[in-house]
Amino acid sequence: MPHHRYRPAHERVEIPEIRRTWPGRRIERAPLWVPVDLRDGNQALAEPMDTLRKRRMFDLLVAMGFKEIEVGYPSSSRTDFDFVRHLATSGVVPDDVTPVVFTAARRDLIEQTFASIQGMPRAVVHLYTATAPVWRDVVLGQDRAGLHALIREAAEHVARLADAMPGTAVRFEFSPEVFNCTEPDFVLEVCNGLTRLWDASPDRPVIHNLPATVEIATPNLYADQIEYMHRHLERRDAVILSVHPHNDRGTGVACAELAMLAGAQRVEGCLFGNGERTGNVDLVTLALNLYAQGVDPMVDFSDIDVIRRTVEECNRLPVHVRHPYGGDLVYTAFSGTHQDAISKGLAHHERAAAERGVPAGEAPWSVPYLPIDPADVGRTYEAVIRVNSQSGKGGIAHLLQVHHGLDLPKALRAEFSRVVQDATDRSGREATPRELLRLFREAYMAEDGPVTPASLTAGGDGFHCLVRHDGRESRGTGADPAAALAAALTAAGVAVEVLWQGGHPAEGGAVAYARCRVGGTPVWGAGEDADAATAYTRAVLAAVNRALAGQRR
Ligand SMILES: CC(=O)SCCNC(=O)CCNC(=O)[C@H](O)C(C)(C)COP(=O)(O)OP(=O)(O)OC[C@H]1O[C@@H](n2cnc3c(N)ncnc32)[C@H](O)[C@@H]1OP(=O)(O)O
Ligand SMILES: CC(C)C(=O)C(=O)O
């Protein structure tokens, strides 16, 4: 491939020289998250949202607790304009939520933008212009001075229209689009110019939003660029430093996180990373990454599946099953050692919570392979462990226990996992808990066989058992049911030694397991019955029948 056609980032943009401090910092609080699903996300859809879908998305964002929401590009389409009017006139915007409206630096578009927010109590007007050399030269046909003048003129017009709308508390945002590919001194010159022009103050700060419109570099370079701006922006306490990473290199989340370390206070992105090309940075991942570090994300993800379904319906795009925190499979393990660790971890978590005397949902979380407790985002533990040919005894035993109340003895787990392995290898598919139970019953609880059926009665001198073997009836007596059965089998000419037996109560009765030596071969059997004693005899009988059937084969 002709890799020589592409240039490294440091040849495409000047990276500011700084003594960086961001690598030593930690993120200790959530930034202001600003979802741009209704604008940047929407403009990337094959079928942009209609009013109904926009309203659903808006309501979701409000319900999740976002306080600043970019609601559209009102001059781009009738739908966008009408939706902003709908917000302005319907009273659906809560008092603590500020809508953001987006506009290019063109007089007519700016005017239409202001027309859309008439009557809103508050709004942010977000002005943008691309500032990087390639865009200046190829797209806009402007040199630095020309472009600066164009931006300034647009910003003055924005300020004038805001002054003429006293009923609306307008704040200003500026985005030097493709900031990450723009000379640092030029961005600084433009941004500082606007800070002065808009007369930013701590009680009416301006937002400078510095996008990685198209990612071209490793996230550390973006962090350097952000730290440089953080240190050099004028009236720093009157400026909100915002970032807007895209995901062209698959490092949008890393860019945003390093940018926060470097001084970013506000992050624009989309739920589940919708947006142009590879998407905007994913706010779900960012916020829950903080959550997983013990930091309040300031957004509610307690029912992530409802959020995901709403986003899928509004965008008409699916969320990948592996998507961090929200994908269908992200709390699921198929592989044996992972399942074993999770199963042990969950049991340990329950015990630790009980020892502390707190509910499991309040106890510190440290379950292997699960970065957060699925229950915190509304997921159940049911789908955490799923079985296929990659699975092992721990996971299989876990599913039988959780779904069917079967607590298999340790030694039987290993043997049964080979049965399951055989079946899943042959089918190439997953085995559901119901299928596992069927496999277990078929393998260890076979009712049919050379010995049929056993009757068991208790008398003054112990237990009495009757078996039929090859058409002959034989009886035995013993101190316990299994001993009585063994005696009956011996009488029938079948030598049985019960090596181990155990069991537990189960729904509607009891389940018993027996390890028997039959004709020299150790073999497992299991039985279930409303009556525990009968369950034990059934387990022995099943073991015997398995052994005899095997010998006959
Ligand atoms: C990185 C981002 O996400 S930026 C946002 C991108 N979003 C969108 O484009 C979605 C909505 N856009 C639209 O509906 C339309 O593009 C409109 C209404 C804004 C403009 O439509 P049109 O007037 O038909 O222009 P068109 O779409 O072809 O855009 C190109 C023009 O915009 C100019 N332009 C691009 N960015 C800007 C800017 N920030 N300020 C002013 N003009 C700009 C280009 O130079 C070009 O002008 P030219 O025709 O004189 O060469
Ligand atoms: C103009 C900004 C905010 C943007 O959408 C981008 O750069 O991607």
Stretch 539-548: mean pLDDT: 92
**Nearest residue (CA) to ligand 1, atom 11:** 76
**What pLDDT, in 10s, does the model give residues 338-353?**
999 999 999 999 999 9
pLDDT in tens, 504-519: 999 889 999 999 999 8
- Identify the helix (H) or strand (E) that includes residue 157: helix 144-163
Q: List pLDDT tens digits, range 353-379.
A: 999 999 999 999 999 999 999 999 999
Q: Is domain 451-552 annotated with CATH 3.40.50.1820?
A: no
Q: Which of 34, 43, 128 has the most ligand 2 atoms within 8 A of CB, as the residue to mutate?
A: 128
Q: What is the mean pLDDT of residues 532-537?
A: 90
Kindly state the average pLDDT of the residues 297-302.
98
- Predicted TM-score of the model (pTM): 0.91
User: 268: Cβ below 6 Å to ligand 1?
Assistant: no
Lowest mean pLDDT among 74-78, 211-215, 246-250, 474-478: 474-478
Is there a common fold for 336-443 and 451-552? no
Report domain extents, the chain. Answer: 24-293, 336-443, 451-552
Confidence at 162, pLDDT banded by 50, 70, 90: very high
CB 513 near ligand 2, within 6 Å: no
40 is in an annotated binding site: yes
The pLDDT > 70 percentage for the chain reads: 99
Confidence of residue 68 (pLDDT cuts 50, 70, 90): very high
280 is in an annotated binding site: yes
pLDDT for res 553: 57
Lowest mean pLDDT: which of 280-294, 312-326, 487-501? 487-501
Give the mean pLDDT of 448-474: 87
* Ligand 2 centroid distance, CA of 281 (Å): 11
Q: What is the pLDDT of residue 552?
A: 63
The residue ranges of DSSP E strands in 295-447, in sequence order, are none
Domain 24-293 matching CATH 3.30.379.10: the answer reads: no
238-267: b or e for each residue (b if 16 or more CB lie within 10 Å)?
bbbbbbbbbbbbebbbbbbbbbbbbbbbbb
Distances in whole angstroms, Cα of residue 464 to Cα of each of 52, 184, 275, 456, 534? 74, 93, 75, 6, 12
Question: Among 429, 435, 471, which Cα is nearest to 450's?
Answer: 471
3-state helix, strand, coil in the chain (%, to 5): 45, 20, 35
Q: Which atom of ligand 2 is nearest to the CA of 212?
A: 7
Mean pLDDT throughout 161-184?
A: 98
pLDDT at 79 over 80: yes
CA of 36 to the centre of ligand 2 (A): 10
Ligand 1: residue whose CA is nearest its atom 24: 76
- Whose Cα sits closest to atom 1 in ligand 2? 177
Answer whether residue 261 shows pLDDT above 70: yes
Determine the pLDDT at residue 383. 87
Where does the pLDDT of residue 503 fall: very low under 50, low under 70, confident under 90, or very high at 90 and above?
very high
Q: pLDDT band at 245, cuts 50/70/90?
A: very high
Q: Residue 520 pLDDT > 90, yes or no?
A: no
Does the beta carbon of 40 sit less than 6 angstroms from any atom of ligand 2? yes
Fold of 336-443: Helix Hairpins (1.10.287)
ipTM of the complex in this document: 0.95
441-448 long-range Cβ contacts below 8 angstroms, 24+ apart: 443/416, 443/419, 444/412, 444/416, 444/513, 444/524, 444/525, 444/526, 444/542, 444/546, 445/525, 445/526, 445/527, 445/528, 445/538, 445/542, 446/542, 446/545, 446/546, 446/549, 447/542, 448/545
pLDDT band at 381 (very low <50, low <70, confident <90, very high): confident
Give the pLDDT score at 352.
97
Q: For 315-345, what is each residue's pLDDT tens digit?
A: 999 999 999 999 999 999 999 999 999 999 9
Determine the 3-state secondary structure of 378 from DSSP: coil
